[in-house]
């Protein structure tokens, strides 16, 4: 009996230890979870006196970038504990809209200007002029004063083309939107779902703006015939092209360059009709209780060190003076399509609705 009782006690102890250990702060370099109780021991890196303030940040930036940025943020904003939710642009937009009356985010970071305009119209943003906002180019921030959102950079449409698959299957290199509708690419193209991905919407929007509504939709109909999948995320088509799962991924430039550097047999193509682009912007969420901390973060997010970090990934910056990342053509600005972001924003609902009724069957689940 005694031994049994001991055994039970031992098991309970084990379980307790497991819980205690599990609740203790996790050793991690990235944003940590809020401790379950405010009375938990302070994080090892925190200065003993100052309690860290937790800030909930919603972003649509790519995971690999976020890692770099957060390392800097950790050094430069030591008293902020950043809880970052990363979702694709569409999902993030839907989530923010759904949480409108009960917002959980304190700041929105690096999210499509198109979405920012929607949030602004819904009265979800608190105007704020972060330190140094005057140096941001006017087309990259909301025209209001103080601005409701402030852009930092922009990404542009690019095709990722797997040369290895092309060789095996005898595929020509597509150089324009029009090329993509050729029957030879049937089942070989992947692009992001515009309903969930900012990259996807940017492409659809540029096509509709470039060709006009009727011709635009006709083109998208043709493209759909060749489309293998509409992915949820904007970078995934390029990654799929990178592994040779599909030959062409409609994506954005930097992800392709990164994969290429990593050894993927990819070629980057900026379409001859012009590459659509989208500004990534930051904003303060209306109703947040942590205004000071949020402002501190927003100041940092357009500060020099942050901008320098963005510039490692982006060729198009909201401020002059950053060289484009390695591998980018120097004349990237000339390859861009002249986007009307107000149009993108105003028509977003209608376009997505139309798009969903036409093509949602192939959307990735």
Partner 1 sequence: MNGSATSVLAAPSVVDSRLSRQRVHQRLGVEGLLIRLLITLFAVWLGAFLVLPLLQVLLRSLQSKTGEFVGLANYVAYFATPAISRALGNSLYVSIVSMVVTVGLALVYAYALVRTTMPGRGILRTLAMLPIFAPSLMQALAFIYIFGNNGIFTRLTGINIRLYGSTGIIMSEVFYAFPHVLIVLITAFSLADARLYEAAQALGASSRRIFFTVTLPSIRYGLISAAFVAFTLAITDFGAPKVVGGDYDVLATDIYNKVIGQQDFGMGATISVLLLIPAVLAFIIDRIVQRRQVAQVTASSTPLGPKRHGRVTQAVFFAYCLLIVGFILSVYGVVLVGAFAKNWPYDFSFTLKHFDFYSMGGYKVLWNSLQMATITALIGTILVFCSAYLVEKTKVWAQGRSVVYLLSIMPLAIPGTVLGLAYIFSFNDPRSPINFLYGTMGILVLSTIVHYYTVPYLTATTALKQIDPEFEAIGASLDAPFYRTFWRVTVPMALPAIISIAMYFFLNAMVTISAAVFLFVPGKELAALAVMLLDDSGESAQAMAMSSLIISIGLGARVVFYLLTRGIERRSQAWTRR
Nearest to 32 by CA among 83, 91, 80: 83
Segment contacting partner 1 by CB under 8 A, of 129-137, 175-183, 319-327, 355-363: 355-363
Query: In the bound complex, what is the minimum distance in angstroms from residue 26's beta carbon to partner 1?
Result: 4
Output the smallest distance, CB 81 to partner 1, in A.
9
DSSP assignment letter at 83: E
Range 115-144, binding partner 1 (CB under 8 A): none
Give the one residue of 117, 191, 220, 264 binding partner 1; rule: CB under 8 A.
264
Judged by CB under 8 A, the stretch of 78-86, 175-183, 273-281, 287-295 that binds partner 1 is 78-86
Exposed/middle/buried for 110, CB within 10 Å: 0-12, 13-18, 19+? buried
Closer CB to partner 1, 5 or 138, in the complex:
5
- Residue 321, phi then psi, degrees to nearest 5: 95, 10
Token pair in block for residue 44 = 């090892």
Binding status of residue 364 toward partner 1 by CB under 8 A: yes
Interacting span for partner 1 (CB under 8 A) from 114-122, 128-136, 199-207, 354-362: 354-362
Strands of the chain, DSSP E: 53-59, 80-86, 107-112, 125-126, 149-162, 189-192, 227-231, 248-252, 266-269, 277-285, 316-317
Binds partner 1 by CB under 8 A, chosen from 9, 18, 51, 333: 18
Work out whether 102 is an interface residue with partner 1 (CB under 8 A).
yes
Stretch that binds partner 1, among 54-62, 129-137, 139-147, 276-284 (CB under 8 A): 54-62
Token code pair at residue 306? 């942050």
How far apart CA 87 and CA 90 sit, in angstroms, is 8
- Comparison of 230 and 337: residue with beta carbon closer to partner 1: 230
**Residue 307 CB, nearest approach to partner 1 (Å):** 20
Q: Which of 42, 103, 132, 265 binds partner 1 (CB under 8 A)?
A: 265
- Chain positions 268 to 297 lying near partner 1, rule: CB under 8 A, are none
Question: Under rule CB under 8 A, which residues in 28-47 are in contact with partner 1?
Answer: 28-34, 36
Q: How far is CA 67 from the centre of its chain?
A: 13
Question: Which of 165, 207, 275, 351 contacts partner 1 by CB under 8 A?
Answer: 165
Cα 245–173–229 angle (5° rounding)? 35
Q: How many residues bind partner 1 (CB under 8 A)?
A: 73
Minimum Å gap between C-beta 212 and partner 1 is: 26
Annotate each residue in 213-242 with x if it binds partner 1 (CB under 8 A) or - if it does not, as one string.
---------------xx-xxx-xxxxxx-x
Q: List the structure tokens of 272.
A: 């001859």
- Residues in Cβ contact with 32 at an 8 Å cutoff, skipping those fewer than 6 apart: 25, 26, 43, 81
Within 13 A of 4's CA, how many CA atoms are on the CB side?
Answer: 1
CB atoms within 10 A of CB 67: 11
**Min CB(133)–partner 1 separation in Å:** 27
User: If residue 93 lies in a helix (H) or strand (E), which one and from where to where?
Assistant: helix 89-98
Binding of partner 1 by 84 (CB under 8 A): yes
């Amino acid at each position: 009996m005694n031994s049994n009782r001991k055994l039970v006690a031992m098991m309970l102890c084990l379980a307790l230890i497991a819980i205690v250990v599990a609740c203790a702060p996790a050793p991690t370099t990235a944003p940590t979870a809020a401790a379950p109780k405010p009375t938990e021991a302070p994080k090892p890196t925190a200065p003993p006196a100052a309690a860290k303030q937790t800030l909930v940040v919603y972003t649509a930036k790519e995971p690999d970038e976020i890692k770099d940025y957060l390392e800097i943020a950790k050094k430069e904003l030591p008293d902020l504990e950043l809880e970052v939710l990363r979702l694709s642009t569409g999902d993030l937009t839907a989530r923010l809209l759904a949480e409108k009356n009960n917002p959980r985010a304190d700041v929105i970071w690096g999210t499509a200007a198109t979405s920012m305009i929607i949030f602004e119209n819904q009265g979800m943003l608190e105007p704020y002029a972060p330190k140094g906002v005057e140096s941001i180019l006017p087309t990259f921030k909301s025209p209001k004063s103080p601005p409701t959102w402030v852009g930092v950079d922009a990404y542009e449409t690019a095709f990722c083309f797997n040369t290895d698959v092309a060789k095996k299957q005898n595929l020509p290199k597509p150089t324009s939107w029009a090329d993509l509708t050729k029957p030879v690419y049937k089942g070989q193209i992947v692009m992001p779902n515009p309903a969930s991905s900012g990259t996807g919407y940017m492409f659809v929007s540029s096509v509709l703006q470039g060709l006009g509504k009727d011709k635009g939709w006709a083109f998208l109909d043709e493209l759909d015939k060749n489309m293998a999948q509409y992915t949820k995320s904007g970078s995934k088509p390029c990654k799929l092209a990178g592994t040779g799962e599909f030959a062409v991924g409609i994506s954005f430039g930097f992800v392709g360059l990164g994969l290429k550097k990593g050894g993927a047999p990819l070629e980057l193509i900026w379409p001859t009709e012009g590459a659509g682009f989208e500004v990534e912007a930051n904003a303060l969420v209306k109703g947040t209780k942590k205004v000071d901390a949020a402002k501190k973060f927003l100041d940092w997010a357009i500060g020099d060190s942050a901008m320098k970090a963005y510039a490692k990934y982006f060729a198009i910056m909201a401020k002059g003076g950053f060289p484009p990342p390695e591998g980018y053509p120097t004349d990237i600005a000339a390859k861009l399509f002249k986007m009307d972001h107000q149009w993108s924003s105003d028509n977003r609902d209608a376009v997505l609705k139309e798009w969903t009724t036409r093509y949602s069957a192939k959307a990735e689940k």
